[in-house]
Amino acid sequence: MTKKAKTARNATLFALTWPIFIEILLHMLMGNADTLMLSQYSDDAVAAVGVSNQLLMVIIVMFGFIATGTSVLVAQHLGANQDEDAGRVATVSIIGNFIFGLFLSLLLFAAGPAILLMMGLPEELLKEATLYLQIVGGFSFIQSVLMTIGAVLRSHQFTKDVMYITIGMNILNVIGNYLFIFGPFGIPVLGVTGVAISTTISRTLGLIVIAFVLFYRLKGRLPFSFMRRSFPSYELRSLLKIGIPSAGEHLSYNGSQLVITFFIVMMGTEALTTKVYTQNIMMFILLFAIAIGQGTQIIIGHQVGAKKLDEAYERCIRSLKIAIAVSTSMAVIVYFSSRPLLSIFTNNEQIITAGATLLLLTIILEPGRAFNLVVINCLRAAGDVKFPVYLGILSMWGVSIPVAYFFGVHMGLGLVGVWIGFIADEWLRGLLMLWRWRQGHWREMSFVRRSKENQLA
């Protein structure tokens, strides 16, 4: 192992988290750049892209079947000083997710328009939503490989590399949006289609660069040749044992969001646009807890692999306290700035007023969400991957959707009722996740340790 690799494994939470924070911020800025620039084109275009992105998020979560398993297994193997096993897992995950990504890209290109039609999307939005979905979705296999390589680099604690690449992708995306939306120098104005082309090109170039960085950082530790000798059934099975349950929680969340989006479509285009603008702003609050959760997952994966279980327990609790404090503070700041922030996207007074009310409710929502983002990542890093899925499915479909429908549609509260459903779901799951962590069942669930025992047996 090189000296550089050894140093990387001793990184602190802050050293890991701030590049992840910047990376996620830039991913959000990429989405917000699309929304902000399209808002100058038309509000209908914003709504069309917003609905298409809901479907694309489901696909991205499915790519997480393998990418999430990669994060956990590589970190645990590295913590246990099993570098060769970490390399084999990384290799299998990259190739496996590329093949899976190609399959889903073809499926989305063919079936995506029919899904949009089934969702009851208004006719004025259907054409643009379909174009965006077919272009971005048809090339979504690029995202599957990007996610997997990013997971490998983060698990090796090279979080800055992924951040720098994300910066470059964002710059390219914004330039492309400007060219295709505003049409300088005689370039044709393509609107939603142009945004889709810009997104795809920036991701393609990002993939080329991140692949180069991967081979540079992990010289000799990605044994692609072993794939030619035999089918890697053991590594793939290990990835899916963690990845499928872990991604199942996210898939359940995005599936429930699709159902709730259907409720909001029933409320009208204005309600749908309000949701898109408000959630774009909310993501800036959310990213603090996401970054802390992901940084903590890397550290706990290494600690569990090294059998430092008491240190892992305390790390989770400290990270949770930080995430709650920061998320709540940011939610308060954003609420008091809500009208100027919403005015960036639209001058529709009804949208601005409704969005401000939702951001007030977000002050209650975000601390509950911080519980989930941090503690679920800790449970997953330790190998306790099934409990969050079971509880997530129960809460999202048994609490979030029924409460959102009852208050939002049946009682006529609209988006306020939907946000009440979000709050009930996040707080219930968050508190139960903390209870699970305190119970300590995860102490006996180290996947690396169990897999080695199974091999010996």
**323: buried, middle or exposed (CB in 10 Å: 19+, 13-18, 0-12)?**
buried
Render pLDDT for 134-175 as a digit per residue (tens, 0 to 9).
898 889 899 999 989 998 998 888 888 998 998 898 889 889
pLDDT score for 115: 81
Quickly state the pLDDT bin for 11 (edges 50, 70, 90): low
Contact status, residue 163 vs residue 21, Cβ threshold 8 Å: no
Q: Provide CB contacts within 8 A for 56, sequence distance 6+.
A: 108, 133, 136, 137, 140
Instruction: Give the pLDDT mean for 22-35.
Output: 71
pLDDT score for 321: 95
Mean pLDDT of the residues in the chain: 84
Residue type at position 265 = V
Give whichever of 27-31, 122-126, 268-272, 319-323 has the largest mean pLDDT.
Answer: 319-323
Quickly state the pLDDT bin for 185 (edges 50, 70, 90): confident
pLDDT score for 28: 67
Domain parsing of the chain, residue ranges: 13-230, 242-444
**What is the rounded CA–CA span in Å between residue 103 and residue 162?**
26
pLDDT score for 397: 94
Contact status, residue 202 vs residue 172, Cβ threshold 8 Å: yes
For residue 447, pLDDT over 70 is answered with no
Q: Please give the model's pTM, rounded to 2 decimal places.
A: 0.77
**What is the rounded CA–CA span in Å between residue 20 and residue 151?**
11
Q: How far is Cα of residue 343 from the mean position of the Cα atoms in its chain?
A: 27
Q: Provide CB contacts within 8 A for 241, sequence distance 6+.
A: 69, 385, 447
For residue 124, pLDDT over 60 is answered with yes
Contact status, residue 388 vs residue 376, Cβ threshold 8 Å: yes
Instruction: Give the pLDDT mean for 296-301.
Output: 90
Estimate the share of the chain in helix, then strand, then coil, as percent rounded to the nearest 5: 90, 0, 10
Render pLDDT for 381-396 as a digit per residue (tens, 0 to 9).
888 888 988 998 999 9
**What is the rounded CA–CA span in Å between residue 318 and residue 216?**
34
